[in-house]
Structure 1
């Protein structure tokens, strides 16, 4: 569910309100053993700020609005992987007989917060809810490398831009050609968003419109204009109800609404500067492949695909690893993606799951993939959905994770000397460029260069990693 500032019935609802309304639509009168809330952006880091106030116990506050007193209340760890990871975990709890039902919900009201923060008559979203909560924390370890933080690259656009240029260098593309490819990737997403009733932006744009820098499409961090960046100022909520088949039967949930989780996997990438290839995302590729293996199907058996799309590289890297064409005729989003449907904090993937479930119900027996990304290409959770009945199958993510972790990390130095090769770079308007490179013996370093000048122009014009 969603609301816009311009809606005739706009009610200034808080994130808890939006999540509870979505949950009420999912419940069907079913009791809830476990309620799990996706962490809101305003409580996602120790330094997050809530200008309109916030709930001190989000899952219990949602449960109170629903008139429920679940046995367990979970506030999930930060990251866009959270919704799919929760589905996998709590479906396993139900399969093991430790719960009959679980409700996963989340929402953001960032559009409302931004609009009303400075107003004299602003709403107050502060609230207290009683009850025990399993607060899983921020999960930020490894996401703020001091060497990048020293150059102001703590934000998603800055770090993702590094991955984007690393991929451009690997492919040997000019800045112009790579920019055109980003626009071509996301232009079909705008068409999907335009047809979705809850999308934040329902405007079809061409590839050229998406990547041409204009006053309304300003450069955020090279190579990203604003239209290619996740849109966080939205008011959106979603919820998913998980039950056993026995409960579904007892509660008379119509059979045509049943959708099963056939495959799943949860994997993590190593810290950014430790990665052998800054243009790749092996954890995501492995997660999708393992989820498909658990489901017993192949990539060609999927009817719908939704790949987390906070930035183009989050889609490109998964497509590269899977051998999936960027223009696959099935499409790579079911909602329109984070820049166009909206990027409601950590909760986007729950909307993707909801839409995947809806499409599965409309085409019984087909399979849909949801790929959920967290951090800076750091955490990936994948799920395979279908109306076809399936018993619970455990995954073996731990074994695959051990294989990923066994790959040697790159050595990093703060004192590079001699000839070096540039791996990637980015810059933000009005700031210096940040450069990551390798020394002749393979050690990685991070440095800076002036915003303008011959070297930066060489980076932009060069289709391959330049030497310096």
Structure 2
């Protein structure tokens, strides 16, 4: 049976990188970087001008600055999708700014695909960028730029859709009060909770993290779009703290942490089959979505198992089922890898894959090595996956996208095999996840308990603060923190998992000491 003429297909992909140490470096803005990747994506269709003329919807992934994660002193485009469209000579009918999170490329892809599938638009362009490396480089040199620009959608009749930041339910007031603010802190707590469940020593777990990411460095070293020159590293090099691999947050030295200092951009072009044929885009460029799912996790302290990621496992299983394929039949993977734990949870624990799977767990090289391009990383993964699948007709690829603090997960299965637009599963999955009871928090924790997970944060290599989550002997979960130097040192000297502690309720935050 022939496919609907409104079936969306990915027909073009583009990536762009500007390294500060490369000849010809000029320090492009966020909008300029995104426009460069978008031009590459349009050219990749092999019918660039004809495709651009049909683009009716544009959408961008939120930059870290638009997400509130950093401040850029040079100003910015107030409506990035329109700033990029203007650079390309595209006059869209709809412009979308997506929510925060590493899962947002799938959310935007699904939105634009639905608009095409329903006939609302015939072609769409999505993109994202980060220029954090240039911002830091210029500030350090005392240079300035003027990146401020404005677009008025009302003046041009464009439907402007800002979906909001979408931080709701990501971190509770209690988490924030106890120092769980930065991603590295939250992920460290998840990582050590997983280690506790597996019963592994610090040394054994560090070796496992190194072995997980060592193959990623080889892929990144061969990727021309990597944010910086990368050399393949051994598991020992990655996981062993040292002068060039300082501790950031227990159990993470620097080389296990996502690299946000990047100047990278990526873009995708989607069209209906009818529009792609009208523009004469060769069918060898077409890639179809076969399965997709999005799911949200509970807030960190509410999760029954802080070291697990049920939302990721559910989203991946749903996407594979929708695509009618098993993990064994997937030809290529990319798992969002800001830190080891989301990869462990999705790929190793969830799908039973091995760290050294010959198919590789990444097509880019991963966020610590290829580059952690903010919320936009998985647009790079999708672009790379499309290129791989074009060279493997009929093969299927899986991209896993993680957002927040193991808070949101998206999974997409792609292939060159024709497929009606499947849409993106979400509501039914979410209802099942939400039906699981929350962890019971002690309202005013006081007395004896045991550590279930922990982390120690470092400032320039010096231990600074300890955070613990555990269970009171009388029942109920607690969270507590301390900056007492003796206690912090004791946390590092001896594995604190399972150790007894005394909890004292505080006005703003609970504190702990060893029993």
Q: TM-score range by the shorter chain?
A: over 0.9
Are 1:175 and 2:202 matched, yes or no? yes
Report if the CA contact (8 A) 2:110-2:423 is conserved.
no
Q: In the alignment, which residue of structure 2 is the partner of 1:362?
A: 391
TM superposition outliers: structure 1 runs of 4+ over 3 Å: 118-121, 449-464
Q: Distance in 2 between matches of 1:168 and 1:460?
A: 17
Alignment of 1:268-417 (within 5 A): 268-319=296-347, 320-417=349-446
With normalisation by structure 1, the TM-score equals 0.96
Q: How does 1:41-190 map to 2 (within 5 A)?
A: 41-45=64-68, 48-131=70-153, 132=158, 133-190=160-217
Task: Provide closer, same or farther for how the CA distance between residues 241 and 212 of structure 1 changes in structure 2, counting only shifts above 3 A.
Answer: same
TM-aligned CA deviation for residue 289 of structure 1: 0.6
Deviation at 1:122, TM superposition (A): 2.1
Q: How far, CA to CA, are the matches of 1:361 and 1:383 in structure 2? A: 16
- Say if 2:473 is the partner of 1:440: yes
Q: Post-superposition shift, 1:322?
A: 2.5
The answer for the alignment partner of 2:13 in structure 1 is: none
**Offset of residue 454 of structure 1:** 6.7
Change (3 A) 1:428 1:32: same
Instruction: Provide the secondary structure at the position in 1 that maps to 2:341.
Output: helix
Evaluate the alpha carbon distance shift between residue 148 and residue 116 of structure 1 in structure 2; reply closer, same or farther with a 3 A threshold: same
Aligned-pair CA distance for 1:440: 3.3
- Which residue of 280, 291, 309 maps to 1:252? 280
SS at match of 1:73: strand
**1:33 corresponding residue in structure 2:** 56
Shift of 1:466: 3.1
Q: Which has the higher mean CA deviation after the structures are superposed, 96-105 or 350-359?
A: 96-105
Distance in 2 (CA, whole Å) between partners of 1:164 and 1:451 is: 23
Kept after mapping to 1: 8 A contact 2:291/2:321: yes
1:18 maps to: 33
Query: Do structure 1's residue 2 and structure 2's residue 14 form an aligned pair?
Result: no
More deviation, 380-389/314-323: 314-323
Structure 1 range deviating more: 266-275 or 437-446: 437-446
Distance 1:465 1:332 in 2: 32
**Structure 2 SS opposite 1:338:** coil
Deviation at 1:142, TM superposition (A): 2.2
1:466 paired residue number = 499
Distance between the aligned counterparts of 1:80 and 1:464, measured in 2? 30
CA contact (8 A) 1:294 1:395 kept: no
C-alpha contact (below 8 Å) 1:421/1:466 kept by paired residues = yes
- Pick the aligned partner of 2:294 from 253, 262, 266: 266
Secondary structure, in 3 states, of the residue corresponding to 2:454? strand
Q: For 1:190, what is the secondary structure of its paired residue?
A: helix
Shift of 1:452: 4.9
Structure 1 residues 464 and 12: alpha-carbon distance in aligned structure 2, compared to 1, 3 A threshold: closer
CA-to-aligned-CA distance 1:202-240 (integer Å, 9 cap, x gap): 211111111121222111101111111000111111000
Instruction: Give how far 1:371 is off.
Output: 0.6
Structure 1 position 118, deviation (Å): 4.8
Instruction: Give the 3-state SS of the residue equivalent to 1:242 in structure 2.
Output: strand
Q: SS of the counterpart of 1:83? A: helix
Asked whether the 8 Å contact 2:451–2:469 carries over to 1, the reply is: yes
8 Å CA contact 1:368–1:384 kept in 2: the answer is yes
Q: Name structure 1 gaps, 5 residues minimum.
A: none
Structure 1 residue 327: Cα displacement: 2.8
Paired with 2:491 and 2:19, the residues of 1 have a C-alpha distance of: 44
Is contact 1:310–1:337 with CA below 8 Å preserved after alignment? yes
CA RMSD of aligned residues (A): 1.7
Q: Distance in 2 between matches of 1:373 and 1:396?
A: 16
Gaps of 5+ in 2: 1-15, 43-47, 502-515
In the alignment, the residues of structure 1 paired with residue 484 and residue 191 of structure 2 have an alpha-carbon distance, to the nearest angstrom, of 18
